[in-house]
Structure 1
């Protein structure tokens, strides 16, 4: 069948899309009203119904955000599409050839809660639709618009947007051939952190049926901590830290203040940043505490991290060369890391630099160990199966190794997209993309990605581009060194000034 325009009815009106190469595409589909004007810094409001057909042939507006800088822009792109109707979905659906409804994946992008959108080519859902999945990419409020701590405003508005999107999917996805009883929510980095918070909600099962968390652990901060960046911005702007004052500024003005307030911050070294805030309707408890107590037990989870997460922030910025022994000593004191643990990590990495040693410790402290502990907690609670992976294939590009976000081009099978190609290079193994993508599709369809569920033997699927074997308790000598007191409920605080230059 040739490419052509298509249309369908959703709850608020009729939408027009495109049928291209066997895939139905409806882009820029609103799930909530524009969060500006009277809706600024308010929970997501309902969309007003429309008459006639709404044009959903082009990607919708993106949340206000700054492009990456300081070397990161070489590997991480930014899509900027003007408009106020930023609370929109991009939907790719397979052509329906039978009556059976298809599994659904709802994608929550990462980007430190300040960047990202469903318009990035690496997140194109065509490959999932090709393989029988209805794929939905969510745009939500970012930065100060979505995660400020302001008097007179609710916290976690960006998370509230995600909840509104998931509820819209439950109500409407059958129109696209999707099965509303087989919805998998999937996210990476900050997107995975928000999914952990969603999984911890008492009504999580009303929102989705399965969850995929890539390189993001359960995390949230007390208002005094998560509000630090908002306090700094208020001081820079010369106003009170409240809704009315911030609403007087344009999104561009808030972005300029945000840039100044967060200079030098990284997820590994810390610093003022936007985070989920504990308290209120959407994060009533620290997600880790709720999950430890059995929240989300009915929902199967696929989760994992990359072997060298830290290299994405350390290599492009040159930070890897600036970290010295004093930084290791400071980390040991702050997180009660024993000297024996540090010696073990160094012994297991002969010839590693101080920066690489610090990065390996930080990757485990902030990602691998918390995700292992989440899998353990779910096992103790007799929860639905948990499946754990590690992405270990090392990019040959600029010594990035198995860095943060490298797995995205493989999971999406979009290795030729600009961001994936920049990170993985032109010779990235297509077979690895084929296999990882198929496993994610299989999990969405059946709840089983194809390797053993977590149990007392600690099985981990290691995606290395070679054997891609299941390894029992990888690097157990290192994992067993950590104590619960050493693993924080939050990332490190503000980095020492000399790190941020």
Structure 2
């Protein structure tokens, strides 16, 4: 007899090995140290969204280190995304931009609230005695915008592919997370105000340590991963004494920032914001009572969009990538990456021609412009002028800092460093963005259906599987692996082994080395630290 169930299985059976119905609960329940939470099954993956890991951060808790959440009675429903930190993120990243439509920046779920310390979990199994590696992802958007609730960070496909647990984290941003008050005569309890957003991330990792076994995770194999601003967050955690021991591998993708905020610059920004609000630091309680909406408007009015953790305070004594001296977490295996045309997101002059490209280069390097153009054309003869421009800006703003970071870590010794370059161009928007910033994020999460990685195309699926699998093995053992017998050896300052993700996967010695050596010439080296 042809039933509705047999019809559905007939349609889906080729793609789904497991039956659509099972005896497992549709709404699984897990028990955290603060109370029980209810999630929902999505196929074989249990997902819990909006689990609190910290108390609300408004009122008297504003600018203060995070507190643990109050325990709750009964079962808390964690069925959908809840809150994100107040921000001007959508205003700063206009949906009319084709790039921001491409990465789905305007599609994030949730409402703005200072009760924003929550995280999301995807797991293949609860309490089943299988200790799985854990990925903890920190979202991009610098330190002033973004959310873990963005579709680009959906963790179920990665959890399914590698039998791993995936966690994504919301935390405080901009002035709510990084308003430096310590040098303005405020009470000692506000000494960490310039880094409380980073302390939120430490609190999330502590929650993982204390609770992840319930979700099938192994607290002794935690990998932190972040792209762009998320990569800068990973670098921040590498430098924080309080984060020591809470993670065991780290992945930084296109996170070119070498320096964070100085006390002097951060204090000047705080004084500007206080002046705009008509307040004095001596009246800190009034600042805690300002509606967050007014705070965000004042930030935007001043054009303050480059908040960062403040270095030189107890919570963050130093920059991680700014000294030859050993640092906390040097014993943590590290993976570092960039994409070939990271910087394509910043420009819209898609109709740039060869003459215009030469003018762009001449505006910055009048004496070397023709040599630079010839060098890039020799490496990429068929690329559009727009993408050659993007490659040059990517080399200066992403790869040069990345190489500085990697070389510094190698010189300091400790755990190995692995490096990859994503060279495959996104086919979206007729390929005009190339291998643009963010393209490797859905690949890391094995989200091959995303348009930026081909919308389910065969090549896109293969590349997503390759990168996600390499990251899974890195999380599992500290050593990434590639298919086909390719050996991905650690990065060194001599051979410079780099995995190259393109239509043909490869591991190369110093890819694009001629361009690297050009920018390292004494006449071309400026201080790329930001």
- Per the TM alignment, residue 328 of structure 1 is displaced from its structure 2 partner at its CA by 5.0
Q: Distance in 1 between matches of 2:26 and 2:54?
A: 28
SS, match of residue 179 in structure 1:
strand
Aligned to 1:495: none
| 1:15-414 paired onto structure 2 within 5 Å | 15-65=37-87, 66-67=89-90, 68-69=93-94, 71=97, 72-75=99-102, 76-78=104-106, 79-82=108-111, 83-95=113-125, 99-130=129-160, 131-150=162-181, 151=184, 152=186, 153=190, 154-202=193-241, 204-217=243-256, 218-226=258-266, 230-240=270-280, 243-244=284-285, 246-262=287-303, 273-290=306-323, 293-315=326-348, 331=364, 344-345=375-376, 348=379, 359-398=390-429, 399-414=432-447
Greater RCO structure (CA 8 Å; 6+ sep): 1
Contact 1:205 1:298 (C-alpha < 8 Å) held by counterparts: no
| 1:450-465 paired onto structure 2 within 5 Å | 450=481, 451-455=488-492, 456-464=494-502
Q: Calculate the aligned-residue CA RMSD, in Å.
A: 3.2
- Per the TM alignment, residue 191 of structure 1 is displaced from its structure 2 partner at its CA by 0.9
SS, match of residue 84 in structure 2:
coil
Q: Distance in 1 between matches of 2:373 and 2:31?
A: 59
SS, match of residue 207 in structure 1:
coil
SS, match of residue 185 in structure 1:
strand
Gaps of 5+ in 1: 264-271, 492-501
Q: Give per-residue Cα distances to partners, 1:171-197, cap 9 Å, x unaligned.
A: 111111111110111111111111112
- Per the TM alignment, residue 244 of structure 1 is displaced from its structure 2 partner at its CA by 4.2
- Do structure 1's residue 469 and structure 2's residue 510 form an aligned pair? no
Contact 2:137 2:225 (C-alpha < 8 Å) held by counterparts: yes
Contact 1:292 1:377 (C-alpha < 8 Å) held by counterparts: no
- Per the TM alignment, residue 379 of structure 1 is displaced from its structure 2 partner at its CA by 2.4
- Do structure 1's residue 435 and structure 2's residue 466 form an aligned pair? yes
Contact 1:182 1:208 (C-alpha < 8 Å) held by counterparts: yes
Q: Distance in 2 between matches of 1:330 and 1:223?
A: 34
Q: Distance in 1 between matches of 2:177 and 2:47?
A: 27
- Per the TM alignment, residue 81 of structure 1 is displaced from its structure 2 partner at its CA by 1.7
Gap change, CA 1:227 and 1:274, over 3 Å in 2: farther
- Per the TM alignment, residue 471 of structure 1 is displaced from its structure 2 partner at its CA by 1.0
- Per the TM alignment, residue 274 of structure 1 is displaced from its structure 2 partner at its CA by 1.5
Aligned to 1:5: 27
Contact 2:59 2:289 (C-alpha < 8 Å) held by counterparts: no
Q: Give per-residue Cα distances to partners, 1:148-182, cap 9 Å, x unaligned.
A: 23344421221110011111111111111111110
Q: Distance in 2 between matches of 1:5 and 1:352?
A: 50
Q: Distance in 1 between matches of 2:298 and 2:326?
A: 39
Q: Give the number of equivalent residue pairs.
A: 476
